[in-house]
Structure formats: C-alpha cells, structure tokens
Amino acid sequence: MREALEGSLAIARAVTLARPDVVAAYPITPQTHIVENISKLVADGDLHTEFVSVESEFSAASVVLGAAAAGARAYTASASQGILLMSEVMFNIAGLRVPLVMTIANRSVGAPLNIWNDQSDTMAVRDAGWIQLHCSTNQEAVDTTIQAFRLAQETELPVAVNMDGFVLTHTMEAIDMPSQEQVDAFLPPFEFAGALDPANPRSLGTLVDPDWFAEVRHSHHAALGKALERIEQIDAEYARITGRAAGGLLAVADAPGAKVGILAMGSVVGTMLAGREDLGAEAGQARIIRLRAFRPFPARALRAAVEGLEKLVVIDRAISPGLGGVLGTEVSAVLSTMERAPKVYNFALGLGGRDIPETRYAEMLALIERPDAPRFAVLDADLEKLPPEDR
C-alpha cells in the first residue's frame, strides 16, 4: 500500500516484514531513526525479535555475527565512524561467510567531523567481502532491504544496503510498502546450512595457515561473483510478487542517440534525471546509468551498458586521496578491456553533504566537451577558499 513515509520509518517497517530473529544496533546520525523506529515497533508489540541494545558498533556487529552463526536471521544498521568501528567485525562476518543484513545510512568519515551524506563510510569497507547494494530512492531502499535478506541466505554472504544519509533516511515520500503476505511469499524462513549446531559440533573461525588461506580467499571471491546472477534473479522474483523491481545489477535510463553517459550510485541519480529533464531534448541527452550492485562489481553488465558511448562521466560520492574517485577508478579498470571504451571523466560531488543541484548535469556535460577537461576533479570544491598552495 502506498503511504507517505519517512525513509527511516519505511526501512524499520521493511525489516519488520522480513521477520528478523535478532536486531542489534547502536545509534549514530543519520541512522538513528531506523533504530529508534525498530525499537518502537518492538516495544509496541509489532515486531517480535530479540532487540539487543549494545554499547558500541563493534558489539552490534559482533552480536549479529553470533546470532546469524547460531542460525538466526539478524539485522543491524550503522553509518560513518560506526562502520569504521565495525570494520574488523565486518571482515570477520564476511570471511566466516555468515549471512546477515545491514543498512548503511551513508555519511562522511571524519576528520573533519561532519554528520552529512557522502559514501566514504561504505567505501572504507569496500574490500570487507560483503555484497554492497546502493539505492537511489526510498522505494528502492525498502525493496532492496527485503531482497537483501533472501540474497544473504541464498549466497551465505552478508549484504549491506546503502542509502544516502538524510537525503533518503530523513526524506518523506510516497512509498509502496509490500504486504506481509507478499513478503512471506517471497522470503522463506531463515535457513543457514553453516549454522552452529550442538548436535553436530563444528568450529567456526579457526586459524587458517598458508596452505589454505589462498583457497579460502579464492572461494570468497568466486562466491561474490556467483552472487551477480542471484541479485538479478531475486530482483526478478520480487518483481513477480510485488510488481516492482529495484534495478537488478544496474539500471539504464537511455536517451536516443546518446554519445555521453553519466554513471552514479545513490540518490544523486534522481537529481541527474531531473537535470536531464530540465535541459530538454535539443541539448543532446546523456544515458544515465544507475549502478545498484557495487560488490559484486558487475563488469560485464557495465560494459554492455556503456556500449556506443564516447564519453562517460562517473560521479563519485567518496574519494581515495592520492588516487581520485573510487567508483571512477573501478569503472575505468573494467572498461579497459573494451575495443572501444568511452573516455571516462570522474567527478566527486557532494562530499560531506554539499548540496548537489540538478544544474550539475548540464555543467558536467559542458565541461567534458572542453579540451582541458580534468579526468578527475572534486567538482564542487571552491578552490578560491583555499590557500594557493592547496589548489
């Protein structure tokens, strides 16, 4: 049923529909409303789960690790420094191949202290071995959260659902909440073959020496690769039940005869679509590619999506200082095997919550037509504010 809901409340209700056995979380801006709402749903008797209040994100991640390893459907949520405090446990969760779901309400990482949205937090744990999905609307965040529970248990991998802090978490908009019957038809009860069982004792997390470590890593890499297909299948299955897909690995909003593309993850995609609409058809429109799966990275789907483009702008909401944009660098790498790869221009936008106006769409398209266009830039940084030696 369509309702006007704040993103965080909608996520709390989506988690409720998934019938988690255990929820453990520590509040941090801008994830707080998700946890508050889950706590309230539990207190009101609308969500029957073991809600564990913990003293830190390290414990939150440890509790859900233990819960899932014991065979429980487990959920947590965090952001920013909370993700960094979890990071050691996040590597363990994935390395132990424990299926669970986490929402990341994306926020910058300090210093300098900043509570606003970018995607530095999730990029800091890029290599933890989780499935990482990105949402551009609250509808996608709701649908992806429910899908994530099934994806986790079918792949035996943890899934992080990224939604932009404030821009999505604190935005009220119309959201079609699936019914409990639909979610029950889509999401079977939690089953985890690797769960610890006193009747059949096993060890989890033992020392792995050089004779086996490479094989474990290879297998983990292969498991993420195999998840590509599952992400698409599960999205299609969800669409069969609810009438609505969330974008598979990536979604293309094409334009007739497009020679230029814009690729991005998260809520900035909507703003780019609005910028394209404003500019009208005469200006020559860009193909807009919304990347939903960041890990596993859908190299083949991406190469197909950029086919025919001469130039591709990749928007990054996080940077790797000393290199450039994280997403832009990865996209360049996977396109390098193409016969005719588009030339990639990588622009970081909206770091630390800098507002991204729709006019950036036209600005970026104009910029890349210039011969001196930078291949990487923090595009909305006002260099006049900096001393000359830092520009």
Interface contacts to other proteins, rule CB under 8 A:
3-4, 6, 115-116, 166-167, 170-174, 267-268, 270-271, 273-274, 277, 355-358
Distance in Å, CB of 114 to other proteins, minimum: 11
Q: How far is it, in rounded angstroms, from Cα 325 to Cα 134?
A: 17
The residue (of 4 and 193) whose beta carbon lies closer to other proteins is: 4
Distance in Å, CB of 241 to other proteins, minimum: 22
The residue (of 174 and 222) whose beta carbon lies closer to other proteins is: 174
Distance in Å, CB of 63 to other proteins, minimum: 28
If we measure between CA atoms, which residue out of 164, 162, 123, 167 comes closest to residue 145? 162
Distance in Å, CB of 267 to other proteins, minimum: 5
- C-alpha to C-alpha distances, 158 to 65, 90, 186, 224, 243, nearest whole angstrom: 10, 9, 19, 10, 26
Could you give the 3-state DSSP secondary structure of residue 115?
coil
Question: For residue 294, which phi and psi values (nearest 5 degrees)?
Answer: -95, -35
Please, are residues 93 and 158 in contact by the beta-carbon 8 Å criterion? yes
The residue (of 72 and 105) whose beta carbon lies closer to other proteins is: 105
Distance in Å, CB of 136 to other proteins, minimum: 9
The residue (of 215 and 355) whose beta carbon lies closer to other proteins is: 355
If we measure between CA atoms, which residue out of 77, 58, 89, 80 comes closest to residue 11? 77
Please, are residues 86 and 78 in contact by the beta-carbon 8 Å criterion? yes
Question: For residue 2, which phi and psi values (nearest 5 degrees)?
Answer: -75, 135
The residue (of 208 and 281) whose beta carbon lies closer to other proteins is: 281
